[in-house]
Chains A and B, each alone.
Chain A
């Protein structure tokens, strides 16, 4: 293992200031891999904060990532809203049928109180436990679903697009409820010890909605919400494209943008220069079957293209590495960053 002078926290803060740290920081955003480390199933793993704390610390030691990631699963907040979560043995828990059955039910919807939302307490306990272990040496990344994107799980995609286009009254009410919940949930994680919040907003991506609609909806919502979150945020489009809107994203107050492998990282880096740190953009789906040589080449290429000048964190492009990605690939990513990610980057 190569020794470095900076802690992960210092390294990340330096790159966020658009300067070059000692080496390229990398975030291995593993959620379910902790269950493998403990030799238990995914459902059992996420049933206890102790499991996730242990899993995250083991992963940190094993792969040397520059962050801890106490993210449980996407429908966790839906569970708090009373929705169904379906567990799988080999993948992330998924949301069940939408908890809002009819669009009109939005008029009767209320956000859950954090004090009553037991599933969320496990995350807060996890963050507290991790913080006790790493203090300020390693960033702890909390996660929220954006008020604009969570309705896909609350209502289903079709119903949501219809109210977005035709029912401004219901859309506005839903956003009001979701914004309040999102701000409270983000701030609770920061208070528990999270360093920053990853604001997952895939519906705002240009893959899903056009820029003009984003400008009127997801952008304004992000601006309002992020301004009330009492810490740094990273906006993640979960594999969705964002090149067409990065100028707007940088005006939402976020510091980082999670980018897709489907877009040119050189262009993205240029568009984000001195405004947003780029997080990405390894293809997590393909990563499952990368050979050692392929992994080295892909990581090397991304570093060559995007790392100069700082403002870059190497990561997968979805914000969650699939359960099927083998440890060998994760080790190779780590080794390649340590070997070829030392600043100044040799071209």
Chain B
């Protein structure tokens, strides 16, 4: 199934009603808003964010095994 999130329709107005100042996606489909969000943190805050996600994923994987 085509992922339309990666290919926003350029002709459509932005859903917020206002055009963002910076592009939302790179040409290869990376979400630049997530990159900017991470860059707004300190390196250690970035790492803790990723570590929390990794631990959450691990908890989900472990949970699935018990079903």
Whether chain B is bound by chain A comes out as no
